[in-house]
Amino acid sequence: MPKRSPKLYKEAQKYLVGGVNSPLRAFGPVGGDPLFVAKGQGSRIQDADGKWYIDYVGGYGPMILGHAHPKVISAIKKVLAGGTAFGTNMAGETELAKEISLAIPSIELLRLTNSGTEAVMGALKLAKALTKRTKVLKFKECYHGWSEQPYLEADYNDLASVRQLISKDVAAIIVEPVAGNIGVIPPAHGFLAGLRKIADENGSLLIFDEVITGFRVAYGGAQERFGVKADLTTLGKIIGGGLPVGAFGGRKDIMQLLAPAGSVYQAGTFSGNPVTVAAGLATLKILKNRKVYSELEEKTLALVEGTEFNFKRVGSMFSFVMNDYRGFFWKMIGRGVYFTPSDKEANFVSITHSARDVEETIRSVRGMG
């Protein structure tokens, strides 16, 4: 067991609320002292005691290329020497928006933000302004960031529950097209198309929160994988190449309501930051080789099937279904494999997870490691 992490955690608790900057890092669901990471390389992270782990948390989603990918680091270094914040336009922002729009054609115009939470706030503000309605329909246990919204909550994969709640007060239906915050739950056949239809009939917007799924379940995200288009899409995680980011975009007529084109105000000192943009562009350039996604899919399938546990999986995101997740988590930490500290969170495989990593993980999970 780690020795330095408990000491570092004690010190952190003196100055940081709960000793962390984001609640799940306190390992609430599994108890015990959280890990302090020293560094990461490829598929692995090293803790403050020098112990290495095969990492399936992947920074909660962004690290699809693994940690410290040389091409991303080199792109970051290149811009760093020229300064990091100007509060004015840089050409790279346009390039990143163009790449995103080419990948997800429903995104005709885009706005970059600094987090997924901000992206959702922007999309919902726009939806309310366009429709002049106040309510938002979401799904129980789906996560769209921490902002407070007037949410109505339907059941995931249950169109009847949506029909029950929908009304002319509903500005938008927002959904994770693959649920990634209740374990991984794929959309039932016809669910997303059904939402599209209900939204259209009711004059509400359909917002896909692709903060996790964008560039993860396919290069064009869930919209490519499942063939349903959203009016507005929120993004984050992967498009920042491991640096803080968010984005929202969609139909031109809706996005043009946003200032300075329109009157809905949304802004950000660091939005479109050059370091984030460089890391994001370097990441998308590698992902654009679509072979990446079939390889990720194969590797992830080999991994989850090899463990012989019950699992849920879409592409390279997966979760386990088991009774004693806490016991499993700590056993795996002991054996040098880092899964998410909550069975409600998704685990992620990166392009740097090797066949050896997969075999080693399977051996550890089966108790042979």
Ligand X SMILES: Cc1ncc(COP(=O)(O)O)c(C=O)c1O
Binding site for ligand X (CB under 6 A): 60, 115-117, 120, 143-145, 176, 180-181, 209, 211-212, 236, 246
Please state, in angstroms and rounded to a whole number, the distance separating the CA atoms of residues 113 and 105. 19
Q: Which residue is nearest to ligand X (CB)?
A: 116
Catalytic residue among 47, 209, 343, 357: 209
Whole-number minimum distance, CB 150 to ligand X, in Å? 17
Between 24 and 152, name the residue whose CB sits nearer to ligand X.
Answer: 24
Catalytic residue among 237, 299, 312, 344: 237
In the residue annotation, 53 being an active-site residue is answered as no
Whole-number minimum distance, CB 47 to ligand X, in Å? 23
Between 181 and 361, name the residue whose CB sits nearer to ligand X.
Answer: 181
What totals of helices (H) and strands (E) does the chain contain, helices first? 12, 14
Whole-number minimum distance, CB 322 to ligand X, in Å? 22
Question: Strand 232-236 vs strand 246-250: parallel, antiparallel, or unpaired?
Answer: antiparallel
Three-state DSSP class for residue 241: coil
Tell me the two tokens of residue 1. 């067991």
274-287 and 91-103 helices, crossing angle to 10°: 30
Please state, in angstroms and rounded to a whole number, the distance separating the CA atoms of residues 218 and 216. 5
In the residue annotation, 60 being an active-site residue is answered as no
Whole-number minimum distance, CB 181 to ligand X, in Å? 6
306 contacts: CB under 8 Å, gap ≥ 6:
358, 359, 361, 362, 365
Strand locations in 88-202 (E): 109-113, 135-139, 151-154, 170-175
In the residue annotation, 56 being an active-site residue is answered as no
Whole-number minimum distance, CB 158 to ligand X, in Å? 19
Please state, in angstroms and rounded to a whole number, the distance separating the CA atoms of residues 92 and 285. 13
DSSP bridge partners of 342:
none
Between 92 and 246, name the residue whose CB sits nearer to ligand X.
Answer: 246
Q: Are 128 and 156 in contact (CB under 8 A)?
A: no
Please state, in angstroms and rounded to a whole number, the distance separating the CA atoms of residues 202 and 20. 42
Catalytic residue among 9, 56, 143, 156: 143
Q: Any idea which residues carry the catalytic annotation?
A: 143, 209, 237
